[in-house]
Amino acid sequence: MKLKPHNFFTILCLAVFFLSVFVVVSSKTGFLNGKSSTSTNGGVIVGKTTAVKMFLEVTSPENGSTIETSSVLVKGKTVSKAEVFINEAETKANSQGNFSTKLDLDEGENIINVAANDTDGNYLETEITVMVETF
């Protein structure tokens, strides 16, 4: 059977249409090339999703708290083995996701920035404010 030019053109148009629908749907749902990906505006999380969802929690000191010493142990939890950055200090979460770093703070209000990224390239950051009153 020989295809007539108008039949070939119709089949070609349908193939292009279905392929473009697949690509648009795949990219909007986050599945393309067999991988899942996600990104959000605002720098909250960027990267590809994994079986373990990325999270970051500062457990100590409490946001908005007032302390009476200029030295504080910042502690928190994230995914296992994530790199963690607390202001200028770099550390790594242990296999349970726990991390801690001692910081020296100034008298008055201090902003502590905490960021973490996992081995898949996901990234989260948060900040807390701590007031130091040593007098």
Structure tokens at 92: 């790594």
Whole-number Cα distances in Å, 81 to 54, 89, 97: 12, 16, 6
Residue 109: its pLDDT value, please?
A: 97
Lowest mean pLDDT: which of 4-8, 42-46, 49-53, 71-75? 42-46
Write down the domain spans for the chain.
Answer: 5-33, 39-132
Q: Which CATH architecture has domain 39-132?
A: Sandwich (2.60)
What gap in Å lies between CA 112 and CA 101, rounded to an integer? 11
Q: The pTM is what?
A: 0.61
Is 103 or 41 the better-scoring residue by pLDDT?
A: 103
Task: Give the neighbor-by-neighbor strand order of the sheet with 71-78.
Answer: 56-60, 71-78, 98-104
Structure tokens at 122: 């996901």
Residue 67: its pLDDT value, please?
A: 95
Helix (H) or strand (E) holding 35: strand 35-36
pLDDT band for position 59 (50/70/90)?
very high
Query: Please, is 86 exposed, middle or buried when counting C-beta atoms within 10 Å of its C-beta (0-12, 13-18, 19+)?
Result: buried
Whole-number Cα distances in Å, 68 to 34, 74, 108, 121, 129: 53, 15, 10, 37, 14
